[in-house]
């Protein structure tokens, strides 16, 4: 599997982007000197990705209809332009990028398809390859072209922190949009589905391990051996005590990870592998969903107590 890191491939004259239109080939080359993008939707990750595109000179739209005041504040801070409705955003956008909770990704794709969107649809959500195929089928049926994406890392604020992997026809063209921004976009030389599969494999460990360590800490506390376990970890695996604290530090995101763990579990099952661990991880995170949008993370003691019920 080859990778291309934001190469100049796909660049047209004057720095424009030559989008891959093989599925709907027009006569001659089509150059988008400055494509307009729609960001669906500006949560913490989506707003940061939108800000990266704005920082490189692109016009980025969002749609305020039905969104919260917190979402509107993030969009303003990121420099996004409010198009009002989804229909208006799609009408103006050459490229639509979907960044939303994984359990909403397919519904959003179907909504975009109902608008007969004919641009390029980039799904950058943590979904299984099977779900991704449904998303691709939906948006292609509506008239759009499709690029698969998978985000690894935190919302990008500084270069080197976050990668956006892209796969499928036109992946290099989308990667080129992020050149010079805080987000490193990497085009995989592989078909759509590869970027999502990579994200699933990565999160199976990174977030799955957070759930596993949280469950172990809660069990050790229940059995009265938590101090002894922490002392042993400090001796034999010094990085583990701090790593086991992540469940409290990131509790406000736990609600979002439930669907992601379920997507991982379905991927394991479809591959003939046991899916039970990540279903249990989903349950761990579900028990912390009370901290959604909390102004501050809970104490570790409080988070661990939430896990036992």
pLDDT tens for the chain, residues 1 to 309: 556 555 333 333 333 445 543 333 343 333 356 899 999 999 999 999 999 999 999 999 999 999 999 999 999 999 999 999 999 999 999 999 999 999 999 999 999 999 999 999 999 999 999 999 999 999 999 999 999 999 999 999 999 999 999 999 999 999 999 999 999 999 999 999 999 999 999 999 999 999 999 999 999 999 999 999 999 999 999 999 999 999 999 999 999 999 999 999 999 999 999 999 999 999 999 999 999 989 999 999 999 999 997
**Residue whose tokens read 């796909």:** 10
Please state the length of the chain. 309
Using the structure block, give the residue that is written with the tokens 């195929």.
Answer: 133
CA distance 299 to 246: 11
Maximal CA-CA distance, the chain: 73
Domains and CATH numbers, the chain: 3-191 (3.40.50.720), 198-307 (1.10.1040.10)
Alpha-carbon gap, residue 106 to 109, rounded angstroms: 5
SS3 17: strand
The pLDDT of residue 4 = 53
Instruction: Give the residue from 7, 74, 1, 8 showing the smallest Cα distance to 41.
Output: 74
Contact 86, 26 (CB under 8 A): no
């Amino acid at each position: 599997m080859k990778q291309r890191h934001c190469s100049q491939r796909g660049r047209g004259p004057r720095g424009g982007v030559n989008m891959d239109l093989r599925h709907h080939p027009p006569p001659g080359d089509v150059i988008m000197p400055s494509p307009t993008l729609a960001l669906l939707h500006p949560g913490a990750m989506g707003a940061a990705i939108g800000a990266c595109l704005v920082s490189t000179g692109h016009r980025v739209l969002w749609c305020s209809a039905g969104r919260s005041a917190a979402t509107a504040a993030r969009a303003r801070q990121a420099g996004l332009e409010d198009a009002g409705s989804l229909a208006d955003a799609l009408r103006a956008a050459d490229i639509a990028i979907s960044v939303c909770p994984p359990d909403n990704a397919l519904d959003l794709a179907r909504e975009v398809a109902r608008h007969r969107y004919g641009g390029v649809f980039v799904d950058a959500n943590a979904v299984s390859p099977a779900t991704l195929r449904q998303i691709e089928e939906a948006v292609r049926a509506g008239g759009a072209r499709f690029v698969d994406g998978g985000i690894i890392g935190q919302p990008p604020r500084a270069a080197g922190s976050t990668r956006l992997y892209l796969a499928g026809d036109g992946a290099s063209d989308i990667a080129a949009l992020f050149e010079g921004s805080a987000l490193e976009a990497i085009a995989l030389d592989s078909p759509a589905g590869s970027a999502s599969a990579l994200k699933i494999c990565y999160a199976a460990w990174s977030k799955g391990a957070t759930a596993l360590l949280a469950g172990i800490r809660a069990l050790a506390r229940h059995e009265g051996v938590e101090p002894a376990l922490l002392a042993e970890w400090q001796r034999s695996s010094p990085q583990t005590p701090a790593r086991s604290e992540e469940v409290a530090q990131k509790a406000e995101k736990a609600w979002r990870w439930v669907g992601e763990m379920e997507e991982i579990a379905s991927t394991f099952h479809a591959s003939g592998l046991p899916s039970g661990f990540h279903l249990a991880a989903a349950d761990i995170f579900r028990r912390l969903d009370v901290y959604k949008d909390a102004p501050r993370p809970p104490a570790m003691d409080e988070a661990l107590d939430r896990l036992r019920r």
